[in-house]
Structures are given as structure tokens and as C-alpha cells.
Amino acid sequence: MNRNERGYILIMVLILMAVGTLAVIPTLNIVTSGFKSKQVQSQFLAAQYTSDAGAEFALWQLLYGGATSLLTGDGAQSSWTVSLNGVVAQVIIRETGATVDRTLQVPGARDNRVRPSKTVVCDKDGDGFDDECEDLPTNGGMKARYTVYLEQVSPDTSVGIVAVYDELPKGFALVPGSVTSPDGSLPGISTVTPVNIGSPSNQVWKWDLAASPVYFQRGEVKKFTFDATINKSKDRYCNGVFLKLQAPPNEKSGKTAHVLVGTTPPEACDSGGGEVVKYVDKSRTPPNTTTILTYVVNVNSVDQNTLHIDRLKDVLPQGSFQYCSPTYPPPTQGPSCDPPMYRIANTPFDPEPENFSDVTGFTVWNDPLQTYLTAKDRWELIWDGPGGAGWDIAAAGQAGDVFILRFQVQAAPVKSGTYYNEVFADVDCAAPQPLITEGVTTAQEYCASYSWPTGGVAVPSYDVRSVVGGITAQGSVSLDMATNTAQLISWQVN
């Protein structure tokens, strides 16, 4: 090495030392960040494990720890703490009630599938369909707009609708070209030309859908509308919708959507038949808890003639629902039950102002004939009346009277869900021959009435939350106490 080059060596050494420092510091930073990341990840996993443990603890509390007895109403909640490896979770269980969507968890007693119903608005003064159909004048030019709703209530969605029928009130006439599905749920209805299978004055319109049967998803509602001109005479005008399905039973709405012309129209409809509505005193029962339920059934005359009830049939919900009375206790004894009772009134039972325990004016009645439906795991109750003679609905020969039946049931359902009992009322009335000829209905079915899924008793489900620091895990729990299982649904960690 030359003397002149010695200064360069020092410079090169200093450069190498500087480069080494730049390389070592980022490397140390990466190692430190790795340790910190691993520490954060470990903390998150510990919190997640504790959160999951909280969920398992909640399920144990619901199945074995008596949590269901602590939660006695929709929205009621209780909380606990769970510790795992030094990490603490707050566990919250809240009752949410059962999902009441008016659909059956199991097929119905006769598996009535699609429920038809309807509403009506009127064009009273020529400025659009914005008027109630009451106190309509007897002058001409008025129209009614009917909206028909078709609601799938059965879990069996394999049976399609092959025809829809609408029985217009006497003297009403369908407005050509007025059929439409405003929300697009039933677009094919407007492409089918309806055919009047009735007469010019008693129109029964048929939409033939056999070429393209209408199918539903569970709980789906389809609707369509049409317009009709209004008869000018003072009267109560009622409309009926009928469905023909690929397999029985066919469905009907009953005579509803009343149009009232004049200030004092009749109390009921021409050939209106009867309608049945039911209520239950308890809309909720805890799982696996013996409960006495009181059902009240209104059989309301909507016919202008005096009718007779030929038969009442009540099919209790599946599972542990059993009819009970002092003379007919269930196999497992619980609190004592009242005997069946009935009364005839000019107004139906209303659960809002009236008390389920008030039996003023009721008469003790005979126990029903009971049949166990093995395939459906349900009890069928039939009242045929004293000597099978039936009863006048109208006590004094006047329409609008109501036959009210009250009876009690012992139940201890074990599974989350909504339990409906179903009522069938057979009433004698006149049926239109065109619908009988078409095979849509018989005289007995035309006059009968079905309660559909109403008056449900809910066995609740539960919301579960497990909170650890800033982590919240939550989901919904459905119980089956018969098998001691709890299903955790939609478990999410945020």
C-alpha cells in the first residue's frame, strides 16, 4: 500500500460501519414488531377462546342451569361472568320469543297451504280509489278495487295453484283490463284472460293457470288487484276468492271485503256463511313447562239467513298439547281444568277488553270426541252437538250473531317455535253451482270456515352474547329440551 492511499482505508472503514448500522437497526425493528404481533395475536386468540367458552356456558345454562326459568318475557335478560386462563367474558342471555311469521313449522291438520285474503277500497266520487267502502250513495258511477293476497303458510311448497276464482257480489261486474300485480309478485295473472263461469248478474271469474302453475317460497306473499263496478242498491256486498291447487285441499277466503251501500245496509252478506276466529290466553310458554291454556273460538255468522253449525273440529298443535277438563284429564296430571263452555252473543269475544277467565253467560258443554292422529302427533277434538242436531248461530233468527266456544288444554312443549291449533267450523249455507261443477269446492266446503295459523303459542328462542374487552360474539339459540340440544345460529364475532 502506498503512503498516499492510507487515508482512503479510514474512509472505507467508516463507510462500512455506517452501512452495517443501517442494516442492523431495521432488522431489530422487524424482530421487535414480530414479537409484538405475536403477542397481539395471542391476546386475540385468548379472548376468542374465552368468548367461545362463554357461548358454551350459555348453552349449558339454557339446557341444564335453569336460565329459561329466569327469563320470563320477551326482552328479559340475565348475565354471568366466565374466566378462562385469566381472561374474563361477560355472558348475556336474552329471551327473544319465537319467530311468529304466520307459517307452520309442520304441515297443517289438512295441510292447508296457501291462504287467500283480500281488501277493498272504493272510488266514491270519481277522483280515484281513496275512499272507504262505507255509506256509499245509491247513485251510479262508483267502483271498487280489490287486492287479493295469496300467502304460503305451509312448509310444503311443492303444490302449485292451477286456477284462481273470484266470486263477485251480485250485480257487480269486472272492469275489463283492470287486472294487475302492482308489486310484480304475480306478473302472470295479467297475461291470463279471465273467463266468467257464472252469469251476467252473478259473475264468478276464473284465471286458468294450469299451463304455468304458481309456486311459492315458504312464507311468500303474492298479490294482484282488479276493479269492479258497484251495484247501486242499498246492501252489504261481500267478495270471495277460491284457489284450485294441484292437490287437495283447495282454499277459500270466505265472504269478506265488504262494500256497504246506503246508511243502513244488512248486518251480513248474501250466502256469506260463517267465519271462525280463535284466541289463546297465553302467547308464550317456557320450554318443558306444564301450562294450562285457554282457547276461545268465535264462529261468526256473516250470512243473511239463520244458519246451523253442523260440526266444530279443533286440531291441537303437535307434541304435548292435550285437551283437559274435570272429566277428561290428560295422562299427566297438572292444574285442574275447566269444562268446555259455550254461549251465543251478538258480538264476538274480543281479547282486548274481555277476560279469558270470565265465564259469565257461558253454559257447560259436553266433552268432545277425541282422536289421536298418529302420523301428525296431534289430537283432534270434534263437537257434533247434542244428538248431532247442531245449534242455531242466530239465537233470535238474526244475522251477525256469534257462537263462542271456550275450552282448556294442557301443554308442555319442549322445542322453540310457534304452535298453532287449527279450527274447522262446518256451517250449512247455499253454494254456487259453477264452483261445484268446476271441482273447486263442495257445498259443505263452501260453507265451512278455517281459522288458519292464528292464536299461536310461542316457545321462545334466545339471544346469546359473550363480551371480552372489545370483542363481542353473538348469535341466536333454538332449544329442543326433548333431546337436550341447543342449536347456535348465526354466531358472529365482531
pTM for this model (two decimals): 0.83
Q: pLDDT confidence of 11, banded at 50, 70, 90? A: low
Summarize the confidence of residues 93-111 as an average pLDDT: 72
Grid cell listed for 186: 304475480
Q: Which position has the higher pLDDT, 355 or 270?
A: 355
Q: How far is 249 from 246, CA to CA, in rounded Å?
A: 9
Contacts of 439 (CB under 8 A, 6+ apart): 244
Which pLDDT does position 187 carry in this prediction? 92
- CATH number for region 268-459: 2.60.40
Q: Give the burial string for 49-74 (b: 16+ CB within 10 Å, else e).
A: ebbbbbbebbbebbbeeebbeebeee
Residue 319 binned pLDDT confidence (cut-offs 50, 70, 90): confident
Q: What digits encode the pLDDT tens for the residues 179-196?
A: 999 999 999 999 999 999
- Indicate the average pLDDT of the chain: 85
Angle, vertex CA 268, rays to CA 444 and CA 309, nearest 5: 35
Supply the pLDDT for residue 274.
Answer: 87
Q: Report pLDDT digits (tens) over 437-474.
A: 999 998 888 888 999 988 889 888 899 998 887 788 88
Q: Kindly state the cell numbers that stand for 7.
A: 487515508
Q: How confident is the model at residue 395 (pLDDT cuts 50, 70, 90)?
A: low
Angle at 484 between CA 481 and CA 489, to 5 degrees: 85
Q: How far apart are CA 252 and CA 241, in angstroms?
A: 6
The one-letter code for the residue type at 198 is G
The model's confidence at residue 113, banded by pLDDT at 50, 70 and 90, is very high
Average pLDDT, integer, range 60-77: 85
**What are the CA-CA distances from residue 488 to residues 332, 373, 479 (Å)?**
32, 32, 9
Q: Tell me the C-alpha distance between 270 and 263, whole Å.
A: 18
Q: How far apart are CA 492 and CA 494, in angstroms?
A: 7
Q: Which fold has domain 99-265?
A: Immunoglobulin-like (2.60.40)
**Domain layout of the chain by residue ranges:** 25-98+460-493, 99-265, 268-459
Write the DSSP assignment of 416-476 as a string of letters: SEEE--EEEEEE-----HHHHHTTS--HHHHH-EE--S-S-EEEPEEEEEEEETTEEEEEE
More confident position, 494 or 33: 494
